[in-house]
Amino acid sequence: MVPNQVSYADFLDRFAAYVADIIVVILLATGFSFAVDLVRMAIGIEPTWTEDADTAFGLVIGWLYFAGMESSKYQATLGKIGTGIIITGLDGNRLSFRRASWRYIAKLISWITFFLGFLVAAVTPKKQAFHDYAANTIVVKKPNKGFNRTLESPGPAKPGKFGGRAG
For 124-160, write each residue's pLDDT tens digit. 999 999 999 999 999 999 876 665 555 454 554 544 4
Largest pairwise CA distance in the chain: 63
Cα–Cα dist 96/165, whole Å = 9
Predicted pLDDT at 49: 63
What's the predicted TM-score (pTM) here?
A: 0.80
At position 148, the amino acid (one-letter code) is N
The model's pLDDT over 98-126, given as tens digits with 9 standing for 90+, comes to: 999 999 999 999 888 888 889 898 899 99
